Amino acid sequence: MTENLIGKIEEYLSEQFLHDKKRLEHIHSVMQKALELGEIFRVSKDKITIASLLHDATKKLSFPENYSMARIIFAEETIKHSPKPCLHAYSATALAKIKFQIDDEEILNAIAYHCSGRKNMGILEKIIYIADYIEETRTFIVDEEIKHSSKVDLDRTVYLIMKETEHYLKEHNRPLAKDTLEAIEAYESKGGF
């Protein structure tokens, strides 16, 4: 059953990203990294595989396509508070639910919050969020401290990535997702790291 589903998703991705090998490479690299972390933190391989493969599945869609797909399952209020570059996370969640009939909440949340993160993430959410940032094909240089931390403390790693993201977006005059800001505040209210 799962193998069949994974095969169908792989087929969909090869069609979608036929002319974007880099994206396909990124997706598989996220999966590899997430599986490595899953081994350490004992998370289901199937859940990791499905969430990783689908996290960027709608990256090729236009803004209106992404928007209307996301709106099938998310309220306008939710989408409105998300910066445009994170819209694909919501549309990919809708794709997972509708096209691939996935109803596992952990998988759906891991796809929906892989871009912004949020406070009180589940373990699968944290793993996909981290793997998306530190996977090997990323063109930016990832702090060695973050790479090291990912193997020992998921919350600290999520916090460090969020702080780097906040810093980067501020420097480029771009908005930080409300969910990211709330998560940073929640970590800091508990004393930070």
Q: Of 151, 188, 190, 184, which is closest to residue 165 (Cα–Cα)?
A: 184
CA distances (Å), origin 3, targets 7, 79, 125, 162: 6, 32, 22, 34
Cβ count within 10 A of residue 193: 14
135 near Fe ion (CB under 5 A):
no
Tell me how far, at minimum, the Cβ of 10 lies from Fe ion, in Å.
16
Tell me how far, at minimum, the Cβ of 51 lies from Fe ion, in Å.
11
- One symbol per residue from 140 to 169: x for binding Fe ion (CB under 5 A), - otherwise; what is it? ------------------------------
- One symbol per residue from 92 to 121: x for binding Fe ion (CB under 5 A), - otherwise; what is it? -----------------------x------
- One symbol per residue from 56 to 75: x for binding Fe ion (CB under 5 A), - otherwise; what is it? x-------------------
Of the two residues 57 and 160, which places its CB atom closer to Fe ion in the complex? 57
H helix intervals, 17-118? 21-41, 45-54, 63-73, 76-80, 87-98, 105-112
CA distance 91 to 113: 11
Where do contacts with Fe ion occur on this chain (CB under 5 A)?
A: 56, 115, 132
